[in-house]
Amino acid sequence: MKQNKYDEPEFFAEYSRLPRSIHGLAAGLEWTTFQGLLPDLHDQRVLDLGCGFGWHCRYAREQGARTIVGVDISERMLEHARVTTRGSGIEYCRCAIEDINFSANEFDIVISSLALHYVEAFDLVCRKVYHCLASNSLFVFSVEHPIFTALPAQDWYYGPTGERLHWPVDNYQEEGRRQTNWLTDDVIKYHRTLATYVNTVIESGFWIKRLEEPKPAPELTDPGEKDELRRPLFLVIAAVKDE
Amino acid sequence: MKQNKYDEPEFFAEYSRLPRSIHGLAAGLEWTTFQGLLPDLHDQRVLDLGCGFGWHCRYAREQGARTIVGVDISERMLEHARVTTRGSGIEYCRCAIEDINFSANEFDIVISSLALHYVEAFDLVCRKVYHCLASNSLFVFSVEHPIFTALPAQDWYYGPTGERLHWPVDNYQEEGRRQTNWLTDDVIKYHRTLATYVNTVIESGFWIKRLEEPKPAPELTDPGEKDELRRPLFLVIAAVKDE
């Protein structure tokens, strides 16, 4: 099932209030790590799967990318992306990620930020990304960490006075659909184990260049951000098309 | 610090009572997965790091390995390995894993079963394994999963009537020494993130062939084993020396 939660007004409004929606890439815990895995984008042909508000597409353009295609299932997100993107050089396409149909060798890099945990057919996406990438090119993606997606509650376990006791894990090996309550009710995500993420990428023909579990900078003192040292929130993988 | 817990009588006695100590490889949840990652061992030169009672060494000999070296820090474990190994073909060496000093190209495969979470210098071990392996050869190892080693308690979180509520995760990003109480008090293990395991292997010159988080067979009905579907207990990595 391809849920298009971002086109629902209530969800869209909630999402628009997130720090990362207002302040962009730097407000995401994982951005520094993700950015560090990107090659020089100058003159590159870039595909962004699940481009949302277009922050990554605009970043690619700032870095001198030759062409940029941003794909998203949500018209509302793309509308916002188009409005906030001045000038040319970025093509926004409405399409579910698993429905992309690009030609072989059409891109020099494919990126995807926090979108693929909404996609059931991760293996299909990997095969399609492999197909449209040039040889020796990178696929860099971030997802919610399997430790974060295992339980639908996606929340800490609290003590009697409301303190965060620890992060609870359960049903880890049972992959599949999770009906979560992120921002609003009934947000469908797909839980996969870390092994499945890694092995699916490898089976699609890539080799793993780097795997990251981003954490806050050690100098951070904000208690909420410090809690991100307690559990892995995101998983980032950089893989190379081996051909 | 190189702790030699297995040479302490009380710990050794407790360890000897574990199902895997009595019944061997098949009693380990991870064995089927581990075995599936091994190549044909016929005529291979095999190194086993942390060989313990020698189960993996004897398995390699059954498969027709040419030479087998088993390394362990514990004299007591090696003594038991020697007593239970009939015939020749296996050399048991007392040595801390991080102190191995083999020649280049001395082995066709290096294996390590549930030993490397006792070793602080995982990067050093990876470099030494790379050095002594022949080109295009495999390093296959299992460790306690980072989700399992994060908290020193290494135990479920229980409800008021003693039921296992969930698996608690905390301090995940804080790597290093954990003073656990596995079998007896004061067993020192080293917690590393999954990213560190993967990236250290890659930085040492290997490419990741497969990453597994073994789980019980679906037909199992034993409640204890079924709980292993709730959290990942072990991590297994198969990596190829790329040269």
pLDDT tens for each residue of B141-157: 999 999 999 999 999 99
ipTM over 0.90: yes
pLDDT for A195 beyond 90: yes
* DSSP-assigned states of every residue in B75-144: HHHHHHHHHH--SSSEEEEE--GGG--PPTT-EEEEEEES-GGG-S-HHHHHHHHHHHEEEEEEEEEEEE
pLDDT for B219 beyond 90: no
Task: Give chain A's domain count.
Answer: 1
- Contact (CB<8Å) B167/A171: no
Q: Which of B157, B195, B213 sits opposite A212 (nearest CB)?
A: B195
pLDDT for B96 beyond 90: yes
Q: Which residues of B touch A232 (CB under 8 A)?
A: 172-173, 193-194
- Contact (CB<8Å) A173/B215: yes
Chain B residue closest in CA terms to A210: B199
Q: Phi/psi at B179 (nearest 5 deg)? A: -90, 100
Q: Phi/psi at B194 (nearest 5 deg)? A: -60, -40
Is residue B69, in this structure, part of any structural domain at all? no
Confidence of residue A242 (pLDDT cuts 50, 70, 90): confident
Per-residue pLDDT, A220 = 67
Per-residue pLDDT, A1 = 61
- Contact (CB<8Å) A173/B228: yes
Is residue B119, in this structure, part of any structural domain at all? yes
What is the CATH number for B115?
A: 3.40.50.150
Q: How far is B171 from chain A (nearest CA, A)?
A: 4
Range A44-69 average pLDDT: 98
Is residue B223, in this structure, part of any structural domain at all? yes
pTM above 0.90, yes or no: yes
For A73, residues 6+ apart whose C-beta sits below 8 A from its C-beta are A2, A4, A6, A7, A50, A94, A95, A96, A97
Beta strands in chain A (DSSP E): 45-49, 67-72, 90-94, 107-113, 133-144, 157-158, 164-169, 176-180, 187-191, 206-212, 234-241
Q: Are A73 and A35 in contact (CB under 8 A)?
A: no
Q: Which residues of A touch B212 (CB under 8 A)?
A: 195, 199
- Contact (CB<8Å) A171/B230: yes
One-letter amino acid for residue A10 of the chain: E
- Contact (CB<8Å) B172/A199: no
Q: Which of A166, A174, A198 sits opposite B208 (nearest CB)?
A: A198
Q: Which of B167, B210, B213 sits opposite A169 (nearest CB)?
A: B167
- Contact (CB<8Å) B194/A230: no
Q: What does DSSP assign to residue B182?
A: S
Domain range enclosing B176: 96-150+157-241
- Contact (CB<8Å) B231/A170: yes
Mean residue pLDDT of chain B comes to 95
Q: Are A229 and A131 in contact (CB under 8 A)?
A: no
Chain B residue closest in CA terms to A173: B229
Q: What does DSSP assign to residue B147?
A: H
Is residue B209, in this structure, part of any structural domain at all? yes
Chain A residue closest in CA terms to B199: A210
Is residue A97, in this structure, part of any structural domain at all? yes
Q: Are B139 and B239 in contact (CB under 8 A)?
A: yes
Angle at B40 between CA B115 and CA B119, to 5 degrees: 10
- Contact (CB<8Å) A172/B230: yes
Q: Which of B147, B202, B211 sits opposite A169 (nearest CB)?
A: B147
Is residue A28, in this structure, part of any structural domain at all? no
Q: How far is B127 from chain A (nearest CA, A)?
A: 18
Is residue A203, in this structure, part of any structural domain at all? yes
Confidence of residue A221 (pLDDT cuts 50, 70, 90): low
Helices B75-84 + B9-16 axis angle, to 10 = 40
Structure tokens at A103: 């030609």
User: Which tens digits make up the pLDDT trace of B175-188?
Assistant: 999 999 888 888 99
Q: What does DSSP assign to residue B156?
A: P
User: Which tens digits make up the pLDDT trace of A10-46?
Assistant: 999 999 999 999 999 988 999 999 999 999 999 999 9
Residue labelled with tokens 């049972």: A174
Chain B residue closest in CA terms to A232: B172
User: Which tens digits make up the pLDDT trace of B29-69?
Assistant: 999 999 999 999 999 999 999 999 999 999 999 999 999 99
pLDDT for B105 beyond 90: yes
